Structure formats: structure tokens, C-alpha cells
Structure 1
Amino acid sequence: MSLRYSILASGSTGNALFVESDEHSFLVDAGFSGKQMEALFGQINRDISKLSGIFVTHEHSDHIKGIGVLARKYKLPVYANEKTWRAMEGSVGEIPTEQKFIFNMETVKSFGSTDIESFGVSHDAAEPMFYIFHHSGKKIVLITDTGYVSDRMKGAISNADVYIFESNHDVQMLRMGRYPWNIKRRILSDVGHVSNEDAAVAMSEVIGDNTKKIYLAHLSLDNNMKDLARMSVTQTLQTQGLMVGEQFDLYDTDPKIPTNLTAV
């Protein structure tokens, strides 16, 4: 048995991750309309109605836009911590009580042979948290939307087989770009988003012998480019003695196109 995953979409316009075992399937975030989410599932030939649950990271619209629609249409369980539930109530609409579940930060929920672990990040949301999927000794980590990666986070996510890791912006592009200064300051802050270089430094401190794939996620449409992110991360990792293409591989994600459904 193995875990399989597809990053359905990742970027400043919307985010969604699909993970499945032989027994269960899961969606983390649904940052698109219901129709767009259905189209993304169609591209990986999977059925939304078969999901064991939707897991929410935080209440920002690029992560929750389609959650209410999908939950109501397919009668799906939705998992989030209490503060996130309160913060997103006005955005997701009415979800039946029997479909609403509390998933507290730094806890683990088990679904058959898959354990899902939550951990907190540093972002300007009510109580943002991300997820680690554990199955048969394998580990998939999703970590985006954080202004920095703390030692506590590094301890939780270390030596994963697969990382889906925020590489949001190039600092120079952001500083020289069209955003007003208050937005730039927010992105650069400890509750904003990590840059390409900061992401790579954090990666260098958590990559282990098990690590085989790293996906660069949540790239800004205005302040980053795939080639630039990949080059910056590769160069920074090399300065730490970590060789992309030898010890592990580095992959892009896309704001509209799912990655191939891949087994860990």
C-alpha cells in the first residue's frame, strides 16, 4: 500500500492538494469555485464524492473558496480548528453541523492506515495550520503560507519523503514591483510568505535521507517565476551541500494544472 498525491493547483490565485491511500482520499483546501474544483478532479480522474474529508489550513479565500459548495453538494466532512471555523463562517456559507469537525493544532487524526498530523505556521490568519500525511512509514508534508519556518515546524516536518514547500516570491521582484508598500511589508513580514532563498535555507535544515521529491508551491504570479524560483532554490541548496537531481528532485507546481498523480 502507498500514498498517492496530486497538487491540483498552487499559487496566489488558489490552492488544493489531493492525497489518497487504498482506503481513503483527502482534499486539503479548495481555493477555487466548485466547477473549477470538479474540473481539476476530472484531470486526475478522481471522484470528489469519494473523499473522506476536506482539511482546511486557514480562512484566506485562495484556500477556502470552494469548500462550502463542495461540502454541501457532496455531503463531505470538513475539518478545521475552532478559530478557523469561526473566521471562515461568513465565507463558506452554511455547512450542516454533522459535516463540521474540529481538528485542533498539533494533533493527529487517523483514517485507517493513514495518520494526518496538524502543525501551526506563522501567517496572518486566525490559527493557520498545515498537514503531514503518514502512511506505511512514508511522509508527505504540505507547508505554505508562513512568514518563516521555526525550529518547532522544522522538527515536525523533518525527513519527509515528499515536500510541498512554499517558495512564494523573489525579494527583489517584490520590492521593485507594483504592490503598495503595506502589502509588500505584509508579505515580507514574519506572518507573510517565505521567499525563494528563505524557503531553500529552511529546506536545507529538514531534508533527510528519505527525501526524494520537493515541489515549489504557492508562487506569486506577480513576484516570482517558475524558472527563477527553481534556480534560486537550487543555488541556495547547493551552498548548503545539497545537490538537486542527485539526492532528490525539484518540481514545479502550477496555478491551474494538476501535477501527475504520484505514489510515494
Structure 2
Amino acid sequence: MKIDILASGSGGNCIALRSGETTILIDAGIAKTKIEKKLLDVGIRPDSIKAIFITHAHADHIKGAVIANKYNIPVFAAEGEWKGIVGVSEDLKRPFKAGTDINIEDYFIESFHTFHDAMDPVGYAVHDENGFKCSICLDTGHVDQTMLSAMEYSNVYIIEANHEPSMLEYSDYPNSVKARILSNVGHLSNEQTAEALSKLLQGVGEQIYLTHLSSKNNLPELAKMTVQRVLVKKGFKLNQNFSLEVL
């Protein structure tokens, strides 16, 4: 499986997964024209996309979902999220119950419920026909055992490390926004992400991508150091037992 993270963060999220002849997108949170350009930049023709999977219906995850109409791409999202997704042709909508498994050509895709202030948010564990597994967990306020079970034994983890609580505390965000981010339906802190990964990692060379970092309440090096410190404490060595990249 080839993974291209085309966009990450509050400005928009979009991930392309390629296996065999099949390419799918997880989220389409940047403008349609930007998705087209970024796909072409990594060698993917937009008309080759077989499906778009939406995590939840916030703008930074669905802004460009109307690209589906141009290329006749089915769009999968949990049932409740369709209340917030507009502009996608009716015949391309594929609602499903959170927790449902979906087959798309070369992929077997597990959906799992996440905890965010959206109607019906999900993450995805994507398996290809060669047994490669990539788990994608973006906006969530915490990680429970059901999520861990869905994501375990992945080759790649794409997970948010949104904020550092001390930076958030002293930020100029209104208190209501700070409370939302820190809540159980907000976003993961660096430490929460590190704790989840410490439960998931087997130390067999997994690739970790830290995504959705706040531009105001986090620093790439801080996120990386926090996760690395926790994993090293567990006995794992960077670039030997796991690799780590911050987007």
C-alpha cells in the first residue's frame, strides 16, 4: 500500500491510499481543485479514485467532497454525518452504520466509532489484499478499547496529535473553545496520542504519522519528542522498532 497524506491540519485533511490498481481517499477537506492538483503531483489521476471515505462532516474534512460529482466517485460516510454533507449527488451517497466493514476492490475497510463533536464520527482501519494494514484516527477526544482493538496490528498509524495542553491553556482561544478541545469529544493531546500508540505498537517497524497538529497550540518537535519519549520508555527504538514522522 502506498500512502500519500495530501493535506493535514485545521486547514484541511485528505489522504490517498493506493493498492494494486485501486486508489481511495480518506476525507476531502481541501478545495476540489487543490485535491486534483495534489493527486496529480503524486502521480494519481483524479478519475482513477474508486471511493471517498469521510471521517466526519466538519469543513476541514469535507470541503472538497463535491469532487465526487465530477468523477462519479461513491462517497462513504456514517449515517449521521450525511446531515452535514451537502453538494454530493444522491446517487453517489453511501451511508453506513459506524462499525460496519466495507469491501472496495483491493481493500477491506473496518470503520470504528470515534469521539468528536460531530454527529457520527468514525476512523478507518484499511487492509489491502497483501495483508498490509493502515489505521487512520483523526479528530477524537479520547481513544477507547474498541478503537484500540480496531487499530491493533497495523503497519501504519495515521493519528492526530493536536495540541500541548500547557500551550492551549495560555493561548488566546476563548475559554469555551479551550474546553471543547480538551473535552472527551475534542482533540487528542500529544500525551494522549503517545499513550494510545504505546498500547498499539508491537515494535516490528511500524510507521507512525502524527497529523492534525494545531498551528497555535503545538509544535512538530514537541509532538515528536512526546511520542518518542513514551515509546522509548516502553523499550522501543526509533528507526529500529518504529519510524515517526510529523505532518
Please state which band the TM-score falls in when normalised by the shorter chain: over 0.9
Residue 200 of structure 1 aligns to a residue in which SS?
helix
Residue 141 of structure 1 aligns to a residue in which SS?
strand
**Which of 192, 200, 205 is 1:206 aligned to?**
200
Q: Does 1:83 align with 2:76?
A: no
Residue 91 of structure 2 aligns to a residue in which SS?
helix
2: distance between equivalents of 1:35 and 1:138? 30
Structure 1: runs of 5+ lacking an equivalent = 254-264
Contact 1:160 1:208 in 2 (8 A): no
Q: Which residue does the alignment assign to 2:9?
A: 11
Change (3 A) 1:160 1:147: same
TM-score (norm. length: structure 2): 0.96
Structure 2: runs of 5+ lacking an equivalent = none
Q: Does 1:34 align with 2:32?
A: yes
1: distance between equivalents of 2:9 and 2:90? 31
Contact 1:161 1:212 in 2 (8 A): yes
Contact 1:197 1:232 in 2 (8 A): yes
Residue 125 of structure 1 aligns to a residue in which SS?
coil
Contact 1:159 1:210 in 2 (8 A): no
**Which of 122, 135, 151 is 1:129 aligned to?**
122
Contact 1:160 1:211 in 2 (8 A): no
Q: Does 1:72 align with 2:69?
A: yes
By how many angstroms is 1:21 displaced?
1.2
By how many angstroms is 1:243 displaced?
2.4
Q: For 1:96, give the aligned amino acid.
A: S
Deviations 1:165-185 (A, max 9, x none): 111111111111111111011
Q: Does 1:148 align with 2:158?
A: no
By how many angstroms is 1:227 displaced?
1.2
Contact 2:20 2:106 in 1 (8 A): no
Q: Does 1:110 align with 2:90?
A: no
Q: Does 1:157 align with 2:154?
A: no
Q: Which residue does the alignment assign to 2:113?
A: 120
Q: For 1:36, give the aligned amino acid.
A: K
Q: For 2:232, give the aligned amino acid.
A: Q
TM-score (norm. length: structure 1): 0.90
2: distance between equivalents of 1:210 and 1:100? 38
2: distance between equivalents of 1:76 and 1:111? 12
Q: Which residue does the alignment assign to 1:223?
A: 217
Residue 154 of structure 1 aligns to a residue in which SS?
helix
By how many angstroms is 1:99 displaced?
1.0
Deviations 1:222-257 (A, max 9, x none): 11111111111111222233322220100121xxxx
Q: Which residue does the alignment assign to 1:258?
A: none
2: distance between equivalents of 1:152 and 1:48? 34
Residue 52 of structure 1 aligns to a residue in which SS?
strand
Q: For 2:182, give the aligned amino acid.
A: L
2: distance between equivalents of 1:65 and 1:43? 20
**Which of 151, 155, 165 is 1:171 aligned to?**
165
Deviations 1:199-227 (A, max 9, x none): 00110001125452000011011111111
Change (3 A) 1:211 1:156: farther
Contact 1:28 1:54 in 2 (8 A): yes
